[in-house]
Amino acid sequence: MSDITTDLVRQATAGDRRAVRALVEALTPVIQARVARVLLRAGGAARGREVRQEVGDLVQQVFERLFADRGATLLQWDPARGMSLLNFVGLLAEREAVTVLRSRRKSPFTEDPMEREDLERGAGSGDREGEIERLVASREALSCLVRAMKARLSAQGLRMFTWLLVEERSVEEVCAVEGMSADAVYAWRSRLTRLAREIGAEITSDTATVPRKPGEKAREG
């Protein structure tokens, strides 16, 4: 299918089976190509798995993301912003694949951890914000950071925080989704990174200075 209209997307997200089938057929090739590119550049499939099997699983996860919440992500596409749906979905597919592989790398149950540099090579070009990981070394601290950011940000600010710092989406992708200029997105990223640094420093400082209860001995080892 060469032309994908907003009407087709709306029909598919509304549950029209024929529209869903047509949309899936149109999007599958580009999603397969993008996730395969990320996977191969990141070093291939996890231990004991074939690349084809890995690609199939990632494609399924991308579609789950696209159709979640009645297709909220798909409905963000606006052809008036200059990006075709295939390119829009392709960018999302790359970011989703990187997110999945990176979370697998961080998991203590992962048999074949992957290096961050490998994943970022598979994600394509663009600056990456790694400040959050350097600011907080534990999942508990990261949760505290996210809660603090939520308390201080507007709905748009929280959305930008999630996309730019948590999910590390590219500036190009956020521009396409939000209809914003690159300068505006870079300004958001700079502002959010600075705020994350400040909150992260507060969290690590508080953690390091938590007083022990009377009679409590420092834990050894």
CA dihedral 54, 57, 62, 65 (to 10 degrees): -140
Amino acid at 88: F
Domains contained in the chain, CATH given: 1-124 (no CATH), 126-210 (1.10.10)
pLDDT of res. 126: 41
How many CB atoms neighbour CB 148 within 10 A? 17
Q: Tell me the per-residue pLDDT of 63-122, one tens digit each, with 9 for 90 and over.
A: 988 888 888 888 988 888 888 898 889 888 988 888 887 766 544 334 444 444 444 444
Residue 44's pLDDT band, with cuts at 50, 70 and 90, is low
Which pTM value belongs to this model? 0.50
**What's the CA gap between 119 and 128, in Å, rounded?**
11
Which pLDDT score is estimated for 208?
Answer: 53
Least confident window among 18-27, 47-56, 61-70, 196-205: 47-56
pLDDT digits (tens, 9 = 90+) for 150-206: 888 888 888 888 888 877 777 887 887 778 888 898 899 899 988 888 887 887 776
Residue 221 corresponds to which amino acid? G
For residue 140, the model assigns a pLDDT of 61
First to last CA, the chain: 62
Rounded distance, CA 201 to CA 125, Å?
A: 29
Residue 138 has pLDDT above 60, yes or no: no
